[in-house]
Amino acid sequence: MTTTPLSAPTTTDSTLRAEVEHFYAWQMQLLDSRACEEWAATFTPDGVFDANGLPAPAKGREAITAGARAAGERLTAEGLVHRHWLGMLTVGEQPDRTIRARSYALVIETERDGASRLHRSTVCEDVLVRAEDGSLLVSRRKVTRDDIG
């Protein structure tokens, strides 16, 4: 497993950091509640979701929606609930005005009427951009699972 640290890993802009944290809290709650289209709409129309646990990156909102929907259907069939927890966030605004964000993302899995356990430990690296209305969108997400070499 190899991840690349950001060239500018932190920001002193507490407003930007808080905005990114709020965006992630909202975005992960959309995913965990299986609001797949709404979650995919937090990516740019040509956004990319790339994870080393998937056979190929999902490119574009339609493919990102389909991937999230398939994962949700699998979890439902298996009687599982996933909750994503992001932490150890670093944020840096780049010269091209993109925002680079890197965090540790944990996936907690709970069996219906059962116990919770840590399912995945990952590093999440995003390139965020501003939409025309000023909101944040993910242009590219790279998720690196710790259990895959």
Per-residue pLDDT averaged across 8-16, rounded? 69
- Tell the residue number behind the tokens 């009427």, with chain if given: 113
Q: Could you give the domains of the chain? A: 14-145 (3.10.450.50)
Q: Which helix (H) or strand (E) element contains residue 135?
A: none
Q: Which helix (H) or strand (E) element contains residue 59?
A: strand 58-59
φ and ψ at residue 90, rounded to 5 degrees? -120, 140
The answer to whether 81 touches 88, Cβ cutoff 8 Å, is no
C-alpha 51/C-alpha 23 separation (Å) is: 20
First-to-last C-alpha distance (Å) of the chain: 5
Per-residue pLDDT averaged across 96-121, rounded? 96
At 1 the pLDDT is 47
- The pTM score is 0.90
